[in-house]
Structure 1
């Protein structure tokens, strides 16, 4: 019985996380893009991922 209740908790958490992700999708993506691109800017010799940069609008 405890397996079922823990499974239900997991699924409800996933549902709420998905709802939260829909609300904050743009903010999270821009935040991740900024964090990913900061170290790339510091190391100019490292080739940058141009497709990621164009997708995020940088």
Structure 2
């Protein structure tokens, strides 16, 4: 048995640290889904606040 060359060490370490089952891709898709969900929640909250403010505005000008 001979000691592995530096090139073989790099190939070995790269193959052991690279996820084979697509976990990096899965992590990116989870992050993207969370950002989209957050954007929808923020937009929905702003729309609701606008609607409530509109109701107060219209109620104040009813006289």
Give the TM-score normalised by the residue count of structure 2. Answer: 0.39
User: Which structure carries more relative contact order (alpha carbon 8 Å, separation 6+)?
Assistant: 1
Give the TM-score normalised by the residue count of structure 1. Answer: 0.43
